[in-house]
Amino acid sequence: MLPAEAQKSSERIAVTAKRMIDVRSGKEITDAVIFIEKNKIVNVGSGLSIPDSVQVIALGDVTLLPGLIDAHTHLLHQYYAKYGDDNSNRLLEMVQLGPARRALLGARLAREMLEAGFTSVRDLGNAGINADIALRDAIKNGDVPGPRMFVSTRALAPVGGQFQSVTPEAQQLIGQEYIQISGVEEARKAVRQAVYEGADCIKVIANSGARRLSSEEMKVIVEEAKRANLPVAAHATDGDGPSMTAVEAGVSSIEHGYTISEAVLNLMAKKNIFLVPTDASGVTRYQDRIKRALKAGVRIAIGSDIYYEFPGMTRGQASIGMYKTYVASGMSNMEILRASTLNPADLIGSNSIGTIEAGRFADIIAVKGNPLNDIGVLEGVVFVMKDGKVYKQTLH
């Protein structure tokens, strides 16, 4: 259970366990010892001597891992199957939830994600007007518990956003979720607005059904984002054209990419553009395109993209179940671990998260069993430390 207040970190801590996975080298370290000062890792190794002055957190027969990073979340966004399809839920959410209620929803979902082992997330829109900024900053300031958030503010999109047909009277709601783009100068202005509002990345909807952004619009979006040193995440589905437009423009990642071709994958590999799959289990064509992506040399950063309620499950529990999906897609357990830690850290552009290495934030989780043998053990996180503070410890 999450303590009422996160444990305050002492000046020097040693976390010990039977084993640790080094996701960069792919090696398993036995008798692992991690030294932490304040919120940073200062040393890591096997069987290191621990001075008497150091506080020890002895976890025993568990596996230590870097905190998980979900590369595609929507923490201020929840739909319910009882209300119908995406469009029906989207309209209800717009009408019924204001920024304050969305931020409170986000605070609950953020806590649930942290408890499940996600110490960082990349949150990509559907948060109203800047409620994601408010939640990110509240977590950063220690006001509420949650993962470290990298947020996009409102997504840039073709006219209409991701709404289906709505009446003229209802169209004014679209601006609460999306900045609508119609022309190069609007695209440029939209990125600059997102930068001003505090975005950590830019989310762009390359297509919404048949509605697509042009190559010129996409290129300007990437150009302006690079000027601000921000990565660009491109939602691209329904055919190969939107993905190719985004890749040619030089985005940082393709989100979903369900119908992506070898031609696009090869160009992504050449340009070091990530694929962020958000796959459901048991879909053969999804599994096939993961195999094609791996063959092409495309780096993968796994994202859950969960935004519906799963009755009886927290958002974290629903999200962490995604990893078994990728075993059937041909990924090795180590590839899945890297796609859940190191790769999304590189995509975000942070050299402070994603691995257990000296100089990185002390974001550490523990699971019973060994994820190199069974990736399913990630669903049973028993210890969560973020930024040097313990938020969960349920070992008995």
Tokens 């509240």, residue? 138
pTM here is 0.94
Question: What pLDDT is stored for residue 10 in this prediction?
Answer: 57
Q: Give the burial string for 257-296 (b: 16+ CB within 10 Å, else e).
A: bbbbeeebbbbbbeeebbbbbbbeeeeeebbebbebbbeb
Question: What pLDDT is stored for residue 2 in this prediction?
Answer: 47
Q: Is residue 36 scored above 90 in pLDDT?
A: yes
Q: Is residue 117 scored above 80 in pLDDT?
A: yes
**Mean pLDDT (the chain, rounded):** 92
Question: What pLDDT is stored for residue 78 in this prediction?
Answer: 85
Q: Is residue 9 scored above 70 in pLDDT?
A: no
Helices 262-271 and 284-296, packing angle to 10 deg: 40
The rounded distance, in Å, linking the Cα atoms of 138 and 158 is 31
Amino acid at position 311, single letter = P
Q: Is residue 172 scored above 70 in pLDDT?
A: yes
How is residue 53 annotated by DSSP?
A: T
Question: What pLDDT is stored for residue 84 in this prediction?
Answer: 81
Nearest to 117 by CA among 304, 349, 311: 304
Question: What pLDDT is stored for residue 8 in this prediction?
Answer: 42
CATH superfamily name and code, 68-348: Metal-dependent hydrolases (3.20.20.140)
Question: What pLDDT is stored for residue 396 in this prediction?
Answer: 65
- 51-68 residue pLDDT tens: 999 999 999 999 999 999
- CATH of 12-66+356-393 among 2.30.290.10, 2.30.40.10, 3.40.50.300, 3.90.600.10: 2.30.40.10
Question: What pLDDT is stored for residue 211 in this prediction?
Answer: 87
Q: Is residue 46 scored above 80 in pLDDT?
A: yes
Judged on CB neighbours under 10 Å (0-12, 13-18, 19+), 230 is buried
Q: Is residue 3 scored above 50 in pLDDT?
A: no
In the chain, where are the structural domains located?
12-66+356-393, 68-348
Band (102; pLDDT cuts 50, 70, 90): confident
Question: What pLDDT is stored for residue 7 in this prediction?
Answer: 44
**DSSP conformation letters of 60-83:** -S-EEEEPEEEEEE-TT--B-GGG
Question: What pLDDT is stored for residue 4 in this prediction?
Answer: 39
Going by their DSSP bridges, the two strands 364-367 and 63-66 should be labelled as antiparallel
Judged on CB neighbours under 10 Å (0-12, 13-18, 19+), 165 is exposed
Nearest to 54 by CA among 33, 32, 27, 74: 33
Q: Which of 154-163, 313-322, 333-342 has the lowest mean pLDDT?
A: 154-163
Q: Is residue 97 scored above 70 in pLDDT?
A: yes
- 209-264 residue pLDDT tens: 888 999 999 999 999 999 999 999 999 987 789 999 999 999 999 999 998 999 99
- 343-388 residue pLDDT tens: 999 999 999 999 999 999 999 999 999 999 999 999 999 999 999 9
Question: What pLDDT is stored for residue 343 in this prediction?
Answer: 98
Average pLDDT value for residue range 93-98: 75
Using a pLDDT cut of 70, give the percent of the chain over it: 97
Please list the alpha-helical segments (H only) found in 198-314. 215-227, 241-249, 262-271, 284-296
